[in-house]
Chain A
Amino acid sequence: GENVEQHPSTLSVQEGDSAVIKCTYSDSASNYFPWYKQELGKGPQLIIDIRSNVGEKKDQRIAVTLNKTAKHFSLHITETQPEDSAVYFCAATLSGHTGTASKLTFGTGTRLQVTL
């Protein structure tokens, strides 16, 4: 089955700096890679995702890159703000067709702390 490794486990940056979180996956068939943000005591929320036919995707201050050959993908947050402080999870799956449930495999999470 799929195995996802995520690094670092904790990351502290100053406000305004960039933050990068990296994940590797094992199953070359995986084709969908979402990133979730989880605030304390809440459920995770999808912040960005990428599919295997795309190398990079950007949404305002957040971007994700995918290297299929190396089987790794990264989350980039620019101009970090205190409200970016949270735990971030990467995940990977082989995307199912409509009517087939996808089983996400999650990384172990990165606790991002943005300091003033």
Chain B
Amino acid sequence: DGGITQSPKYLFRKEGQNVTLSCEQNLNHDAMYWYRQDPGQGLRLIYYSQIVNDFQKGDIAEGYSVSREKKESFPLTVTSAQKNPTAFYLCASIGGLSYNEQFFGPGTRLTVL
């Protein structure tokens, strides 16, 4: 059963702590993405990666970091430098012939206490 999994579904963090969100895909997709979603706003791109060991900043990368050590995995770390981290985080991937359709995971809701 192919797809994208994100864990955990809900995450609570104290101010000043770093936290890592997991994203795994078994679709054999090359490109992976992280988005942030706030109420009343569209999806904003944090980071994306086209291939293993390579990634680029998106529009709102400050306070976040990523790694791409395996094709299947693209974890996102929300650091203490992120001023307003409470949001819904979505991971996506692209692959296949058209190389356009983004498949999204179910999301992780991060709340900073």
Q: Which residues of A contact B (CB under 8 A)?
A: 4, 6, 9, 32, 34, 36, 41-46, 49, 89, 93, 95-104, 106-109
Taken together as a complex, chains A and B put the C-alpha atoms of A9 and B31 apart, in Å, by 30
B residues touching A (Cβ–Cβ < 8 Å)? 4, 30-31, 33, 40-45, 48-50, 58, 90, 92, 94, 97, 99-107, 109
The secondary structure that dominates the A interface is loop
Question: Which of A4, A36, A95, A109 has most B Cβ within 10 Å?
Answer: A109
> Once the chains bind, are A107 and B90 in contact (CB under 8 Å)?
no
Contact of A108 with B97 in the complex, beta carbons under 8 Å: no
Known: A41-B107, A43-B107, A44-B90. A102 touches B99 (CB 8 A): yes
Closest residue of chain B to A51 (Cβ to Cβ) is B100
Name the residue on B nearest A6 (C-beta).
B42
Distance to closest chain A CB from B27 (angstroms)? 14
* A101 contact set on B, CB distance < 8 A: 30-31, 33, 48-50, 94, 99
Whether A108 contacts B45 by the Cβ 8 Å rule is no
Q: Is the CB of B43 within 8 A of A44?
A: yes
B106 touches which of A43, A89, A97 (Cβ 8 Å): A43
Cα distance, A101 to B68, chains bound together (Å)? 15
Which chain A residues border B97 with CB–CB below 8 Å?
A: 98
Report the minimal beta-carbon distance from A1 to chain B, rounded to whole angstroms. Answer: 8
Q: Bound state CA distance, A102 and B92, in angstroms?
A: 12
**Once the chains bind, are B42 and A49 in contact (CB under 8 Å)?**
no
